[in-house]
């Protein structure tokens, strides 16, 4: 089949959960014999490749305004897709979902992946939130097939759109740890003595809670924040100012590849204090390294089977501080309290996810044959 992908900033090595999802998924779908084109957002693409690992890349202009970026890019990508005559369009995210009815009017077959209720993100005002809610509904209602990355999102689609969806989780690639520490040395990070978080600098990730909790931690420990901001905001600037006030807090900016492997390989524990998530790939990556996790008790995190002491009450800085101090004061981080590798291999395996996604494509193809 010929598949055109809309809704991601692009691949490879562009920050974001949807971007990581697409980077892992589509080379596998190409390897299975299908043709895939991804519409990238020119604003985020540093190197203008025509293809990557067999996936064709179509670089499309994107305005530098967060309120216009998604809709403008989705509209242009839809027009370009129409001329390329794909067998189906795969739309990622509820923002692009707003244009699913338009795509249907153009006679396109649509698979939509709902990565979560983005309207909960604090960066959106009331108007933008309502637009995203509408995108969730229109995408969920009018796409030929809907994929969800968690059962929680599946319940939303069933309740709001009155239909069943295809549950296909996010995945993770089982890594090889590294002994290299050149990135750590560059930033003055001590192996085995730091708390790691990997997240964008946006309010819903709860990094302000983590910084506040960490400043009360006793002992010679460090906090490493690996991540950046898509658009510099008042929040991201304030976060950097708070981090700069404590010399033990290191912000590496966005990192990928070997550098990301290094920070995961030598971390003492991994923390994700999010207020909202779909199914966080960063947490799955941490589990694949067998790092002791500590995460907020939101439904998306609780869908991953972790021991009770791996959770803290979302937004409760005192509880987060106490849980962190317990981990740092013990050898619990060295104990395999649960076989994390088994979880990610059996349940969050990209090869399985690719096969399940292709099965959804084939479901549409079969439906067309019988019409």
Is residue 310 over pLDDT 80?
A: yes
Is the same domain home to 146 and 193?
no
d(CA 245, CA 268): 22
d(CA 197, CA 201): 11
Mean per-residue pLDDT for 53-58?
97
Q: Give residue 20's region: left, alpha or beta (phi > 0; psi -120 to 50).
A: alpha
Mean per-residue pLDDT for 244-262?
93
Mean per-residue pLDDT for 86-97?
96
Is the same domain home to 25 and 128?
yes
Per-chain mean pLDDT for the chain: 91
Confidence at 331, pLDDT banded by 50, 70, 90: low
Confidence at 263, pLDDT banded by 50, 70, 90: very high
Is the same domain home to 206 and 82?
no
Is residue 299 over pLDDT 70?
A: yes
Higher pLDDT, 230 or 60: 60
The CATH number of whichever domain residue 62 belongs to comes to: 3.40.50.2000
Confidence at 92, pLDDT banded by 50, 70, 90: very high
Residue 17's CB is within 10 A of a number of other CB atoms, namely 22
| 25: its two tokens | 């998924």
Is the same domain home to 28 and 165?
yes
Is residue 229 over pLDDT 90?
A: no
Mean per-residue pLDDT for 171-180?
88
pLDDT at residue number 174: 81
Domain annotation covers residue 58 = yes
pLDDT at residue number 179: 94
pLDDT at residue number 219: 81
Is residue 336 over pLDDT 60?
A: no
Domain annotation covers residue 177 = no
Is residue 31 over pLDDT 70?
A: yes
Is residue 311 over pLDDT 90?
A: yes
Check: CB of residue 264 under 8 Å from CB of residue 175. yes
What percentage of the chain carries pLDDT values higher than 90? 71
pLDDT at residue number 32: 97
Is the same domain home to 297 and 166?
no
pLDDT at residue number 125: 80
Whether this prediction's pTM lies above 0.85 is answered by no
Confidence at 338, pLDDT banded by 50, 70, 90: low
In the DSSP assignment, the letter for residue 106 is T
pLDDT at residue number 128: 85
Domain annotation covers residue 226 = yes
Give the tens place of pLDDT for each residue, 178-188: 999 999 999 99
Is the same domain home to 219 and 234?
yes
Domain annotation covers residue 101 = yes
d(CA 168, CA 163): 16
Is the same domain home to 149 and 210?
no
What is the bridge-based pairing of β-strands 269-272 and 292-296? parallel
Highest mean pLDDT among 21-30, 58-67, 305-314: 21-30
pLDDT at residue number 340: 67
- 3-class secondary structure, 262: helix
d(CA 339, CA 202): 31
Check: CB of residue 261 under 8 Å from CB of residue 237. no
Residues facing 41 on adjacent strands? 60
In the DSSP assignment, the letter for residue 9 is -
Is residue 64 over pLDDT 90?
A: no
Confidence at 332, pLDDT banded by 50, 70, 90: low
Is residue 267 over pLDDT 70?
A: yes
Confidence at 52, pLDDT banded by 50, 70, 90: very high
Nearest to 198 by CA among 340, 318, 306, 293: 293
Is residue 333 over pLDDT 90?
A: no
Is the same domain home to 167 and 25?
yes
Is the same domain home to 145 and 188?
no
Mean per-residue pLDDT for 259-274?
95
> Residue 44's domain spans which residues?
2-171+349-369
Domain annotation covers residue 176 = no
Higher pLDDT, 244 or 66: 244
For residue 117, what are the CA distances in angstroms to 11, 59, 107, 111? Answer: 23, 27, 27, 17
Is the same domain home to 79 and 149?
yes
- How many domains is the chain partitioned into structurally? 2
Is the same domain home to 27 and 151?
yes
Confidence at 367, pLDDT banded by 50, 70, 90: confident
Is the same domain home to 362 and 331?
no
């Amino acid at each position: 089949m010929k598949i055109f992908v809309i809704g991601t900033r692009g691949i490879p090595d562009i920050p974001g959960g949807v971007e990581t999802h697409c980077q892992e998924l589509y080379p596998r779908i190409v390897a299975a014999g299908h043709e895939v084109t991804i519409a990238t957002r020119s604003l985020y693409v540093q190197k203008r490749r025509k293809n990557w690992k067999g996936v064709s890349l179509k670089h499309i202009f994107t305005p530098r305004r967060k309120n216009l970026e998604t809709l403008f890019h989705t509209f242009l990508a839809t027009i370009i897709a129409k001329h390329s005559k794909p067998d189906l369009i795969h739309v990622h995210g509820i923002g692009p979902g707003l244009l699913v009815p338009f795509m249907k009017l153009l006679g396109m077959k649509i698979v939509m992946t709902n990565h979560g209720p983005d309207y909960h993100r604090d960066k959106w005002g009331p108007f933008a939130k309502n637009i995203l809610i509408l995108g969730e509904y229109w995408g969920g209602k009018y796409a030929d097939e809907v994929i969800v990355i968690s059962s929680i999102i599946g319940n939303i689609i069933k309740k709001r759109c009155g239909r069943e969806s295809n549950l296909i989780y996010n995945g993770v690639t089982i890594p090889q740890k590294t002994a290299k520490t050149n990135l750590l040395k560059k930033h003055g990070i001590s192996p085995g003595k730091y708390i790691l978080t990997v997240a964008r600098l946006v309010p819903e990730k709860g990094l302000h809670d983590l910084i506040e909790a960490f400043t009360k931690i006793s002992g010679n420990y460090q906090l490493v924040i690996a991540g950046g901001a898509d658009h510099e905001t008042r929040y991201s600037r304030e976060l950097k100012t708070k981090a700069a006030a404590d010399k033990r807090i290191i912000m590496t900016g966005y990192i990928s590849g070997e550098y990301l492997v290094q920070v995961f390989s030598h971390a003492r524990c991994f923390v994700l204090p999010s207020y909202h998530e779909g199914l966080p790939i960063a947490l799955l990556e941490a589990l694949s390294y067998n790092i002791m996790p500590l995460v907020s008790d939101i439904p998306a995190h609780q869908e991953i089977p972790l021991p009770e002491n791996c959770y803290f009450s979302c937004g409760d800085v005192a509880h987060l501080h106490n849980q962190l101090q317990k981990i740092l004061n013990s050898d619990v981080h060295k104990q395999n309290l649960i076989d994390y590798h088994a979880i990610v291999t059996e349940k969050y395996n990209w090869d399985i996810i690719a096969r399940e996604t292709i099965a959804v494509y084939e479901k549409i193809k079969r439906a067309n044959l019988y019409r």
